[in-house]
Structure 1
Amino acid sequence: MNNINFSVVKNSLRGHEYTILRQLLPYGKKEGNEYVALNPTRNDRNLGSFRINTTTWKWSDFATNDRGGDIISLYAYIKEINQLTAAKELLAITRRVS
Structure 2
Amino acid sequence: MVTAPSGPDYAAINQAALARLPEVLARLLPGGRTVGGEWQVGSLQGEAGNSLKVRLYGQRAGMWCDFATGDRGGDVVSLAAAVAGLPQSKAAQKLAQMLRLEGGQHG
Place the TM-score, normalised by the shorter chain, in its bin. Answer: 0.7 to 0.9
Q: Distance in 1 between matches of 2:47 and 2:30?
A: 14
The one-character-per-residue Cα deviations of 1:10-35 (angstroms, maximum 9, x if unpaired) are 22324322111101111111111011
Q: Distance in 2 between matches of 1:85 and 1:35?
A: 24
Amino acid at match of 1:85: K
Q: Distance in 2 between matches of 1:27 and 1:53?
A: 16
Amino acid at match of 1:66: D
2:95 equivalent in structure 1:
90
1:52 equivalent in structure 2:
54
Which TM-score applies when normalising by structure 2?
A: 0.76
Alignment of 1:48-87 (within 5 A): 48-55=50-57, 56-87=61-92
1:20 equivalent in structure 2:
24
* CA pair 68-14 structure 1, distance change in 2 beyond 3 A: closer
1:6 equivalent in structure 2:
10
* CA pair 16-39 structure 1, distance change in 2 beyond 3 A: same
Deviates more, 1:87-96 or 1:77-86: 87-96
Query: Identity over the aligned pairs, expressed in percent?
Result: 28
Which TM-score applies when normalising by structure 1?
A: 0.82
Gaps of 5+ in 2: 102-107
Q: Which one has a bigger Cα radius of gyration?
A: 2
- The question of whether the paired residues in 1 share the 8 Å contact of 2:8 and 2:89 is answered with yes
Aligned residues: 94
